[in-house]
Amino acid sequence: MFELYLTDYQYFALFEGGRGMADVGNAVGLYRSIGSHDEQRYVGHGVWTPSDGLSKTYERNSYDDYREVSAAELGRLRRLADDRGPVKHERRDGFEGGGFAVFRHEADMVDLRSAYAVVDELLPEHRYALPLAPFEQDQLASIVALLAAHRRARATATRLVGDRGRRAALPSHTQRRCDHTKSTPGRHGR
């Protein structure tokens, strides 16, 4: 969502053997690049992974070719990749076995702590995900679990306050203090 405002990516369709380049439906992949050393492949559902697919077309034994795509072609290629789903075996270099951080909205992907789950394999319902390094997976899974527990505790406290009043949400030692300060008929001459 914010990519267009943060960087000027160029988007490309890769064609195996350079065949059928007039129709992006024949492309074997959607790629984006800022420069010659930073290219990524779209694997579906908002997931981009580092790649060297475009660079390999310059190798002597490669017959593959690519071309820049229009905004309409970009949308079509994204939908095609989303329908196929993320390619599960593709990961960022050095990020094998780290799993994925899963988000509810594309805009949430700018902050890993906005993830609602950490999974080993992507499912079709995981529309927005980022690959993780193994050291990130355990730490982020702990953070996600802690934030989920905090949300549940807040929801429970809110429900208790709504059901039994403010006193029910107070810690027990505070309730005792409140009980001692209540005035009862006959005490203190009242």
Q: Which residues contact 176 (CB under 8 A, 6 or more apart)?
A: none
Average pLDDT on 8-12 reads 88
CA atoms within 13 A on the CB side of 76: 13
Three-state SS for 51?
A: coil
Give the tens place of pLDDT for each residue, 140-170: 888 888 888 888 888 888 777 765 555 544 4
pLDDT at 95 over 80: no
16-25 CB burial, b ≥16 within 10 A, e <16: eeeeeeeebe
Q: Percent of the chain, pLDDT > 90?
A: 17
Burial class of 87 by CB neighbour count within 10 A (0 to 12, 13 to 18, 19+): middle
φ, ψ for residue 116 (rounded to 5)?
A: -100, -10
Residue 165 pLDDT: 52
| pLDDT tens-digit map of 53-93 | 888 888 877 888 999 999 999 999 998 888 876 544 344 45
Is pLDDT at 182 greater than 60 in this prediction? no
Sign of CA dihedral 4, 94, 81, 101: negative
Give the distance, in angstroms, between the CA of residue 131 and the centroid of all CA atoms in the same chain. 8
Residue 132's pLDDT is 84
